[in-house]
Chains A and B, each alone.
Chain A
Amino acid sequence: MSTHEWPLWEVFVRSRRGLSHVHAGSLHAPDAEMALRNARDLYTRRQEGVSIWVVRSSEIEASTPDERDAFFDPAADKIYRHPTFYDVPEGVEHL
């Protein structure tokens, strides 16, 4: 396995407790352990994180941009899912 074959990993970093992991970028590494160590050196040199996830890029399934409209269409005509859809009588509070 040369570096040409080192798999690509996506790196997710939790910046502090209470927040979720957020995608930070990607890197190449031969295995998960090296991916974690490289991710620490690459994406948290200034204490940007308290926890790191690495996921093989090939394991990620993504929706395709071409189908974006059709895929997300079902939500487009359901504005009643938002509280601003509803009329609230004058003077009614805490609703």
Chain B
Amino acid sequence: MLFSVTDGGTVGRVYGNDFQAPGDAARARPATDDSTASFEAVLAEDGRVEPRDEMPEGYRRTLVRQIAQHAHSEIIGMQPEGNWISRAPSLRRKAILMAKVQDEAGHGLYLYAAAETLGADRADLLDQLHSGRQKYSSIFNYPTLTWADVGAIGWLVDGAAIVNQVPLCRCSYGPYARAMVRVCKEESFHQRQGFEILHTLSHGTPAQKAMAQDAVDRYWWPSLMMFGPPDTGDAAAPGGHTEQSMAWGIKRFSNDDLRQRFVDMTVPQADALGLTLPDPEIRWNEERGHHDFGQIDFTELFEVIKGNGPCNQQRMEHRVRAHEDGAWAREAASAYAAKQAARAVGAA
């Protein structure tokens, strides 16, 4: 069964989070009430919904949109790091970076396969990415200006992604949850290699340490924005996706809870690196048992989601060009398969 999932055209997704820019609320998914007793029973016992089970159309569409845009994020995420493969400082770093970028392609494929269990078609989802009807994580619209940025992406961006993705391993939709288990296992290598790059730089020459600090200065705030708009206040997400996704067992924790978890996890790691997070308001709050931190400029996030980030256009152009330039290989594989099949028939 194929169906359109274009209603999510303005949604800015971040690795397993679902939100949109203010003013786009009118396009939010309409509420559905086609839930069935068997579906509700599975949710009630915290069970897993499997591909051929009955499920409300809204649940299916929310999942297709979220999983597809998660998949898009993985494959677009290959670009900022791929940018440094040919300039990695050693053969060791180069081999590691190639393995990481290959993993991102693999993560995209696990996720496209999960979306297809819901009746979506991968080629159709890619078309929607290429035509701008579906989005990818805003974080990949920032440039990788130095080698240290590869470290900052691994440590901060993949670190934030892990905080977002670990709860998705318990998502109510079985194939998505299983894909996320695999992804999370592989992400921990990504985060550690990033941390190691920054650790090496920060214990190197003053110029290397300054490069590491500069990368952290530029990637810290965009990484915090990866968790999406705040739960409350003017910048809070319109459309009520969070509440419905929580009721459906797709989302397990609020944006602010996950963001807090990330900050608490990262502050001591920054100390270990000997680097400073660019927020003078970060301090331990004994009473809350958490770190306080400064205000996030969400207008920047919404601008990037709308397409006005530093690299939006470049990322999309590169993606479309890579797809078109690869057409001959797909056609050749098809032609070879057809020839082999014809020969097999002839021999029979």
Contact = CB atoms under 8 A, between A and B. Distances in A.
Interface residues of B, number: 29
B123 A4 contact: yes
A45 B116 contact: no
B53 A31 contact: no
Given A8-B116, A45-B103, A65-B50, A27 B341 contact: no
A65 B337 CA distance: 34
A41 B86 CA distance: 22
Given A1-B338, A30-B333, A65-B52, A25 B179 contact: yes
B246 to A, nearest CB: 25
A3 B334 CA distance: 8
B53 A42 contact: no
Nearest to A28: B122
Interface in A1-53: 1-6, 8, 25-31, 34, 41-42, 45-46
B113 A31 contact: no
A22 to B, nearest CB: 11
A39 to B, nearest CB: 11
Contacts of B103: 45
A-side interface mostly: mixed
A23 to B, nearest CB: 9
A31 B109 contact: no
A84 interface: no
A1 B122 contact: no
A2 B334 CA distance: 7
A30 B337 contact: yes
Contact of A34 (B121, B179, B333): B333
Interface string A60-72: 0010111000000
B52 A64 contact: yes
A4 B50 CA distance: 24
Interface in B94-109: 99, 102-103, 106, 109
Contacts of A25: 110, 113, 178-179
B52 A62 contact: yes
A3 B179 contact: no
User: Which 4 residue pairs spanning A and B have beta carbons closest together?
Assistant: A30-B337, A31-B337, A1-B334, A4-B123
Interface of B: 50, 52-54, 99, 102-103, 106, 109-110, 113, 116-117, 121-123, 178-179, 186, 330-331, 333-338, 340-341
Given A8-B116, A41-B106, 15 more contacts: A1-B334, A2-B331, A5-B334, A25-B110, A25-B113, A26-B117, A29-B333, A31-B341, A34-B333, A42-B106, A42-B109, A45-B102, A45-B106, A64-B52, A65-B50
Interface of A: 1-6, 8, 25-31, 34, 41-42, 45-46, 62, 64-66
23 contacts: A1-B334, A1-B337, A2-B330, A3-B122, A3-B123, A3-B334, A4-B123, A6-B334, A26-B113, A26-B116, A29-B333, A30-B333, A30-B334, A31-B337, A31-B341, A34-B333, A42-B106, A45-B106, A46-B186, A64-B52, A65-B50, A65-B52, A65-B53
